[in-house]
Structure 1
Amino acid sequence: MVDFAELWRYKDLLYFLTLRGIKARYAQSILGVSWAIIQPLFTTLVFTLVFGGLAKVDSDGMPYVLFSYLALWPWNYFSGTLTESANSLIQNANMITKVYFPRMVLPLSAILSKLLDFIIAFVVVIVLLIYFGQVPGWGILFLPLLIVQLLMTSLGIGMFLSAMAVKYRDVKHALTFVVQLLLYAAPVVYSTNAVPEQYQKFYILNPMVGVIEGFRAAFLNRPMPWEWIWPGSILAVVFFVFGMLYFRRMERIFADVA
């Protein structure tokens, strides 16, 4: 089982590695942390032009820019953490083979360092809400629960992939392609209502479906889609527990194959 007391004793190392990850990402960058705004904003503009303008994808009556950005905001965090955490053990192979510390600190630091981008990207949400005259409703109170679901999904899958990537280096090469496919398996460029009703009971098992639709509902003063949120939240807990246990099981061989 996971030794949480040991993880707490190494909290200073976790803090240092998280800070190092943030600094390394923006080292020798002219625009610095501005990339956390530029990337999702330009992607949103492209999606608005292609899917909102040319393809005329239904956005449930919302401005398509706001519709897509509120989905890209949590999605970019999720996809970014998968890449960062999957490579965290390989990139720190020298540390693993030379000194002991809880190996779980590495994927955790990769996931926590991406939170800065998530927080900075919130600035654009505020600007868009003001521009379109949207006022969040009471659903905003449930935003912390949605963020917890996002974190648990990211942590669970991230730890699973990081453990796999040590033994199977194909994970690193396949992940970029898989993340691109997963983008269209979540309601980022389209609404969940566009999914045929007979398939929705399977579709909503994707934890990111409830997170994305919950974010939209929270900021656009719409009823929270609990029927889309709770199935994914159960799967998020399953991913989280399974990811930690699988990581612990594989931890004994990290130093041998890293």
Structure 2
Amino acid sequence: MSSPPLVRPLTVIRPRGARTLVGWAELWAYRDLVYFLTWRDIKVRYKQTALGAAWAVLQPVLTMVVFSIFFGRLAGVPSEGVPYPVFAYTALVPWTFFANAVTQASNSLVAQEAMLTKVYFPRLIVPLAAVLAGLVDVSIAFVVLVGLMLAYGTVPTVAILALPLLVVFAAITALAVGLWLSALNVRYRDVRYTLPFIVQLWLFASPVAYPSSLVPEAWRPLYGVNPMVGVVDGFRWALLGGTESPGSAFLVSVAAVVALLVGGLAYFRRMERSFADAV
């Protein structure tokens, strides 16, 4: 008796609707690829390095030392009643994650040229995996933050329960910016050269080395247009019991992130059809 003929599954790839910014079902179907790219980015980051995962700690720690000397001791920048090293490092944990995630996400599409030109998969996966890989650095740097807080006798309040949501907020912020820059980088390679300068300016435009309270009250809503204001102030509020709760600037930052994310998804979707040709 002959065996029945094999029936090969047929996959039909259709464009998403005009109003669909994210194909959630498609992303879920490619979840294994998200995991693979994320894990590969993590391994490549520390491959053949002498210090390995210690690089996730050295960058914020050394920056904290420099800030503590020049801003905390010499300039006398206020730290809202918290020891300045703890004050600075609490902000540097999300900032370092944001800066590295945006840099990796911005260059991710160009780095995946071979995949983009040969096989189909949701292009959104590439910058998403770059951002998710950075969460490992946050976990490592947070262990050092806990030790620093214990050394200075800083005890968090019940607001620390909001920390997981703030980590998600930081990741969404990095993804929103990364979507814009990754799509732009495919067409304009100037992005990769100007990005370090932009990130450096962004650092000093954010309340990392200084508190948001130094900004006049009337200017804080405008200051909150910088999405990292909400991220940094949120982390300090959740971890440092002596700081004031985020105000209007935080709400403006949340609105700015939503606008950046929706706009970034729309622009990314419009440009992704030409990625394979332009990359």
Give the TM-score, by structure 2 length: 0.90
The answer for unaligned runs of 5 or more in structure 2 is 1-19
Partner residue in 2 for 1:46? 66
Contact 1:70/1:216, CA 8 A, preserved across alignment: yes
Contact 1:149/1:207, CA 8 A, preserved across alignment: no
From 207, 211, 217, the counterpart of 1:187? 207
Query: How far apart in 2 are the matches of 1:244 and 1:50?
Result: 40
The 5-angstrom pairing of residues 108-257 of structure 1 reads 108-222=128-242, 223-257=244-278
Contact 1:26/1:32, CA 8 A, preserved across alignment: yes
Offset of residue 177 of structure 1: 0.4
Aligned length in residues: 258
Instruction: Kindly provide the amino acid, as one letter, of the partner of residue 257 in structure 1.
Output: A
Contact 1:86/1:162, CA 8 A, preserved across alignment: yes
Structure 1 segments of 4+ aligned residues over 6 angstroms from their partners: none
The answer for unaligned runs of 5 or more in structure 1 is none
From 40, 55, 62, the counterpart of 1:35? 55
Partner residue in 2 for 1:23? 43
Q: Equivalent residue of 2:156, what SS?
A: coil
Contact 2:132/2:171, CA 8 A, preserved across alignment: no
Which stretch of structure 1 is more off in the superposition, 214-223 or 180-189?
214-223
What CA deviation, in whole Å up to 9, does each residue of 1:65-104 have, x standing for no partner?
0010001100011111110000000011111011111111
Instruction: Kindly provide the amino acid, as one letter, of the partner of residue 162 in structure 2.
Output: F
Q: Equivalent residue of 1:30, what SS?
A: coil
Bigger Cα Rg: 2
Q: Equivalent residue of 1:160, what SS?
A: helix
Higher relative contact order (CA 8 A, sep 6+): 1
Instruction: Kindly provide the amino acid, as one letter, of the partner of residue 130 in structure 1.
Output: L
Query: Which protein has the bigger helix share?
Result: 1
Query: How far apart in 2 are the matches of 1:142 and 1:207?
Result: 18
Identity %: 49
Name the Cα RMSD after superposition: 1.1
